[in-house]
Copies of this chain bind each other. A is one copy, B any other.
Amino acid sequence: MIEAAIGIDIGGTNSVFGIVDKEGKCLSESSIKTNEHETAREFVNTMADEIKKLIKGYKEELNIVGIGIGAPNGNYFNGTVEFAPNLRWRGVIPFCELFKEHFNMPIILTNDANAAAIGEMMYGAAKEMRDFFIVTLGTGLGSGFVANGEMIYGHDGFAGELGHTIAVSDGRACGCGRKGCLEQYASASGIVKTVKELLKKNNKSILNEIPEEEITSKNIFEAAKKGDKLALEAFDYTGKILGRSLADAVAITSPEAIILFGGLALAGDYIFEPTKRYMEENILNIFKNKVKLLPSKITDSNAAILGASALVWKDLE
């Protein structure tokens, strides 16, 4: 019999889930559409059925020890998802409670960046580390901080909102209602905004050949690889804003390493080099050249499942 945990990642479009053993091997996985379900309860009912099928269909007998869920705006203490802008269900959704109607086992929920941090700590770039943080550069910017070997959930379960610290005074309008939040600059959508601003000043770029509303961070990465100056400038500017914010975050928690994860982090040196350079340029002298800036080591397509399942093992410790 194999001991395993269920990992679930609830995303705006797709929700993925899988069976993961303690060594971080994903034994089986599947997905369902998230927003096709009228209510959160219907969504959970469908997913519970699919998970049971997955367990039944696996070739060997499984001892499922718990379920870990990563979700936007997930609250670890309450097991809820609260006011997530990307989900169709409004207000506070008691996901852990809904899943408990189907499974009699520990169910742990947190936000996706925290799940990613625990995944890195168990299986990835932060093995053996007690003090680090992860920054997920996707559509938005998520973050998860670990100190003394423990996730910082904060008093209310919502710690780790680095994406909503003010990076540029009176800067770009943010969905949160304020101006200049870091995620408006350092994220896949942030770099697209930067490119659009740069194109208004100077149209000598191969990105000018793409209709403005179709430009993606991937296009920008491709252009940078071809040596496009405007694309390179956009990466430099993104790294500048991110590097400065990381320097300030380092002064608070003094981590051993910062891990960059998610779509924009896949641009490799194009994003790592300027981020590291501006971080060092702006960091307090006692921290200079001490903090590693590392890529995630969980690069499988099922990274989100792995991170979510790691919540279970971490909780059982």
Contact = CB atoms under 8 A, between A and B. Distances in A.
A25 to B, nearest CB: 30
8 contacts: A82-B286, A143-B252, A152-B254, A156-B286, A157-B254, A158-B254, A158-B286, A166-B244
Q: By CB atoms of chain B within 10 A, which of A131, A132, A244, A248 has the most?
A: A248
A313 to B, nearest CB: 18
A285 B73 CA distance: 12
Q: By CB atoms of chain B within 10 A, which of A155, A158, A254, A284 has the most?
A: A155
Interface string A236-258: 00000000100111011111100
What are the nearest 5 A-B pairs in CB distance? A154-B254, A159-B254, A155-B256, A161-B251, A165-B248
B166 A248 contact: yes
Given A150-B148, A285-B176, A160 B252 contact: yes
A155 B176 CA distance: 32
Contacts of A147: 147-148, 150, 152, 154, 159
Contacts of A150: 147-148, 150
**Count of chain copies:** 2
Contacts of A164: 251, 284
Interface in A297-315: none
A119 to B, nearest CB: 19
A169 interface: yes
Interface residues of A, number: 45
Contact of A155 (B159, B165, B255, B285): B255
B158 A287 contact: yes
A58 B185 CA distance: 62
Nearest to A167: B248
Interface string A146-183: 01101011111111111011100100000011100000
